[in-house]
Structures are given as structure tokens and as C-alpha cells.
Amino acid sequence: MASDDENFDKFLVQVGDDGKFQNRFNLLFNLGAICFTSMTYMSIILALNKPPHNCHVPGMERYNITDLDQWRNLTLPREEDNRGQLGYSKCQMYNVTEDHLARPYSEWSFGESDIIDCAYGYYYDRTYYDRTPITEYDWICDKGFRETNIFVYNRLGELVGTVIFGHLGDTLGRRFVFYVSVLIITAGRLVCMYTAAYYTVFAVASVLGSMSAHAIFQSPLIIAMEISKSERRGHISMVQCIGWTSGLCILPMVFWATKDWFWALMIATLPILIFLLIPSYLIESPRWLATRGNYRAAMKVLRRIATVNGIKELAFDEAVLEKQLSHHKTETIYGIASLFNGWRMTKNTLLVILCWTVCSVTYFTLVLLSSRMDGNPFLNFMYQALIELPAAYLCQKSADRFGRRATNATAFICATVACAILVMIVRDQANESAATFLTTFVKFCVSITFFAVNLQSIEIYPTCLRQTGLAVGAIAATIFGIVGPYVVHLGTEYDVRYPFLVMGLSMGVGVLAALFLPETLHQSLPNTIAEAQNFGKEQRFWALPKAPKKTHDAAEAEEAIRLNVPEQEKN
């Protein structure tokens, strides 16, 4: 007996599984909506960038000193930076009193006992930022963890939101979750803009704006994959990757143009609301509707797809749809617990969790580092984003040729080696160009692994648990990803090697997880928990995936459906 997934695919072929409707849907939601969403989601990282700073010591004008470095040399103690190089202290100054200012500075003499915390505020380098919450409210030095803690709170918000919206996506539908998620992320970011003076309120609003982030990306991706033929799944992920990367490249240019976090956040947030105004273009997944037993609604969506694809009449109706799927009974699911139903599903779930965790921790560590490296933070951010496009293109080609598993594992191995080299060379400023190249290469590899594991997560779970399955990977990644901002803090404040050491060890774990996941290339999406429990059971570890060969009769039957001619008439 054919599986539900295979039966449903036959109906999709007839309405068009790679036509105008799918192209329009991907253009609007997996490209356009994701572009604006990535800007909204990641804007908080650039808004909370910490410009170079030192203590402000008044009195420079009394000596007609115009060289700021000369004044710093007189008034600031030295300390080692994260590369082990001596530089001016960021949070301490010499106790320059009126008695000192009454004498020539050549007579000044300070010892360890004269070092105090900044007493007159701070000087900020405003080359790239005129205003941020950090410069407005001095979230540095004794308040320096405020920025880091907000990133941690955001990850906790993502954790809670992913649990909630992942489950709602499989129970109330992908379309409903998308709309609610857009409203939540927009509200969160807008409240942030007006509450920076109140740290607690700002942090809560920032968390609210991050709660639904994963759901916005997952919902249109899952819908697109569930209405398209299996050969297009890699292409659909590629479209969403282009949307994500486009947003990440536009975002730093917005900040650079405004140099003001308030207006940059406003520009990055409001455009996503456009997609609330075009509800007729966002469908519910007919595959999901069918698994819920709602054949009437599924048939309505299928007719709509067929109409846009230029097919006027269908050779089946609601009764045929229900009859063909009559052996399917809506399964009782218990949220995340259902992902651990049986040994094979449990093993696959745990491996996906490991892959997601390694990818997420490494990716967001690199994103945070990119805007905190020396040089132009906006260009650094954009360069790190641009590298994702060739990575996604290479991953799509490799994943469709050699398989998801081989592609994922190879990228993990390359990133592990690069991190090991970085740990050895990154402290030496003479190796800065090599370190920048290798860091970009690690981002390239991580982007490949993210693309591959996202495909695998969608393809190994049954329809009734697909969004929950994606969510559980994001949940685990968020839990462990909480350490990411602190790792970046250690790297920027203490030793630049720490982030690469953590990333390298994580990537080593990712290699093992990727190798033992089942191959999903050329495999039908499992529709039921029973099918997912057997997924990958017959696969050989060392074999590369091969496309299934169609028999002559099967090819004729498929062609008949594509031409919208019943098989009996064809014969």
C-alpha cells in the first residue's frame, strides 16, 4: 500500500507541484518576508554594539592639548587588551584633581594608588554610531554585562517562543503562527525603541521581540516544502537563504546611513507589517490540513493552487481525496514527547538536536564577533553575511548531488580544522589578515551546516510533527546558545582565543552527529509517526544516495496526471 505521503504527492502533481503558485509563494514569503524578518530579528545586535570607549577626564582645554591620545597618555593607566597588547584602560583613570590641573602636566606623577574608576563619565568613539542605548545610558564597565545579558535573555525568549509556536504550528496551523509571530516580533522591537531608559522594560521588550523569530522562518518554509515536489526542497531552502542574507546585508547599511539606533530600528522593523496586508497570498498547507482530517479545506487550497498554476479542471474531488487517504487516521500527538516515540525517532531527534546546537552556537557567536571586530562594524557584519550566499549555493548543489549527510559532515570537519588554526594564530596582530580569512571561512562552513541540517530536520519528521521537530532543534540550540554571548564577552574583554576554542570543540561534536543522521535526499517525506520510526532503517552508512528509477508504467502515469488526463483515458 502506498504511504499517505506518496498518495498526496500524486494529487500535488495534478494541481502543479512546481508552478506559478509555488514560485509566487516563495518570492513573497521565503524571499521578501524573510528578508525583512532577518532585519527585524538581527537589528538588536547592531543596536547594542559597544563603541570603543575610555574615561572622560576634564581639563584638556586648559593646556591647549588637541591630541586626544596625548591627553589619554597623561590621564589613563595602561592595561592588556584581549590580544595581550598594552592599551589605554577602558574603565579606569588617574585621579586628576584641581591640584594637578593647577600645575603643568609635566609635573604630574601617578602611581597604582592613584587609579580610580571613571568619575566624570565616558568618552565614546562616534565614528560609526552617534547614538546607541549603550552610549546614552553608559551600559559599560560596571554595567557592561547589560548588553550581554540582553542577548542571553533573548535566547531564553526564543526558547519559550519556540516551544509554544512550534507546537501551535502543528496543532493550529502554519499560517496562523506566521501572522501571530509577525505581530509579536514587531511589537517587541517597537517597544524597545521607546524604553531604553528603563533597562528592565527594554530587556522584556527585547525578549518579546525574539520569542517568535524561529516560527516566522519555519512557517513559510514548511508550507512551501509541503506543496512542492521533493526535488525542489533544496531550491526552496536556497530561496529562503537568499532572503535571510539579503536582509543581513541591508541591515548594516541602514545603521551606517542613520548612525542612530532608534531610526535604524524603526526602518528595520516596520516593513515586515506589509505581509499582514496580503492574507490572500498566504495559504495553509493542504498536506497539514489533510493529516488533520480537514479534507474540505485541503481540497479548497488544492483548487486554488491549480487555478494559479493554470489548471482549470481536476480529475479528483474532496471525496476522492478522502478515499485515497482513508487509511490515514489523525494521530494523537503529545508535542515534543512524540519526537521520542521509538528508538529510531529518538536517535534521529537527538542527533538533529546536536547538529542544531553546534550550528546555532557557532553561527551567533560569529555574528556577535563580526560587529565587534576592529574596523568598520557595518562592513564586517555585511561581509560575514555575504559569505552565506555562496555557502548556500554550494550546499544546495552538494546536498542534491552527494546528499545532506556527507555535505553536513564535511563542512563540520573543515570548520573544526579552521578553528584549531585560529586558536594558534589569532593573538598575533601580524596574522590579522589570515585570522580574518579563516574566521570568514568558518562562517562559510557554518552556513553550509545550517542549510543542510535545516533540510534534514524538515525531511526526517512526519507531517504531523514537522514544525515541532524543527522547533525542538531550535529549543536545544537556544538552551546551549545561552553561553554564546558570554563566550563573546570573554573573547572581546579577556582573550580573543576563547571563542574559537569553544567553537572548534563544538564543531568536533557536530561531525559525529552529522555522520550518523539518516540520508534524506531522494526520500519521500514521512507522513505518519510509523513511517518516521522506520525512516533510514535500510540505509547503508557508506553509500551515496541515488535517485529512484521510475518504471515505464509509473512514468506514463505521472505524465498523464501532469497533463490532467485520467489514467484510464490515457490507456
Q: Residue 220: what pLDDT? A: 92
Distance CA 149, CA 138 (A): 15
The cell numbers describing 195, all together, are 524604553
| Angle, CA of 53, 54 and 60, to the nearest 5° | 125
What contacts 214, CB < 8 A, 6 or more positions away? 158, 161, 162, 165, 166, 470, 471, 474
- Three-state SS at 54: strand
Closest by alpha carbon to 7, among 527, 461, 464, 467? 527
Distance CA 301, CA 295 (A): 10
Question: Cell 520510526 appears where?
Answer: 533
Distance CA 475, CA 487 (A): 19
End-to-end Cα separation, the chain, in angstroms: 23
Closest by alpha carbon to 367, among 388, 349, 339, 353? 388
Closest by alpha carbon to 496, among 374, 400, 389? 374
Question: Cell 500524486 appears where?
Answer: 10
Q: What are phi and psi of 33, to 5 degrees?
A: -65, -40
Q: Residue 565: what pLDDT? A: 45
Closest by alpha carbon to 470, among 240, 289, 260? 240
The domains of the chain, with CATH numbers, are 53-124 (no CATH), 336-543 (1.20.1250.20)
Indicate the helix (H) or strand (E) that contains 503: helix 498-515
Closest by alpha carbon to 216, among 474, 533, 500? 474
The cell numbers describing 293, all together, are 482530517
Helix axes 432-460, 233-258, angle to 10 degrees: 140
Distance CA 154, CA 132 (A): 18
Could you list the pLDDT tens digit for every one of the 571 residues in the chain? 445 556 777 888 888 888 899 999 999 999 999 999 999 999 998 999 888 889 999 888 888 888 888 899 889 999 887 677 788 898 999 998 888 888 888 888 888 889 999 989 999 989 899 999 999 999 988 888 888 889 888 888 888 887 788 778 888 888 999 999 999 999 999 999 999 999 999 999 999 998 888 889 889 988 998 888 877 877 888 899 899 999 999 999 999 999 999 999 999 999 999 999 988 899 998 888 888 888 888 889 888 998 998 888 877 777 777 777 665 555 556 567 777 777 888 888 888 888 888 888 888 888 887 766 667 888 888 888 888 889 888 888 888 888 888 899 999 999 999 999 998 888 887 887 788 888 889 999 998 998 888 788 778 888 777 767 777 777 777 777 777 777 887 777 778 888 888 889 989 988 988 888 888 777 777 777 777 777 766 666 666 666 666 544 445 545 554 555 444 444 4
Which amino acid, residue 37?
A: T
Q: Residue 238: what pLDDT? A: 84
DSSP string, 78-96: EEE-TTS-EEE-SSEEE--
93: buried, middle or exposed (CB in 10 Å: 19+, 13-18, 0-12)?
buried
Distance CA 571, CA 559 (A): 12
pTM of the model: 0.76
- Three-state SS at 195: coil
What is the 3-state secondary structure of 108-177?
A: CCCCHHHEEECCCCEEECCCCCCECHHHHHCCCHHHCHHHHHHHHHHHHHHHHHHHHHHHHHHHCCHHHH
Could you say which DSSP state residue 541 is in? S
Asked whether 425 and 439 are in contact (CB, 8 A), the reply is no
Distance CA 324, CA 327 (A): 8
Distance CA 525, CA 214 (A): 21
Cα dist. 378→165, 245, 435 in Å? Answer: 32, 14, 19
Closest by alpha carbon to 214, among 151, 256, 265, 157? 157
Distance CA 437, CA 19 (A): 41
Distance CA 17, CA 562 (A): 10
Q: Residue 553: what pLDDT? A: 47
Asked whether 26 and 236 are in contact (CB, 8 A), the reply is yes
The cell numbers describing 563, all together, are 497533463
What contacts 78, CB < 8 A, 6 or more positions away? 86, 87, 88, 89
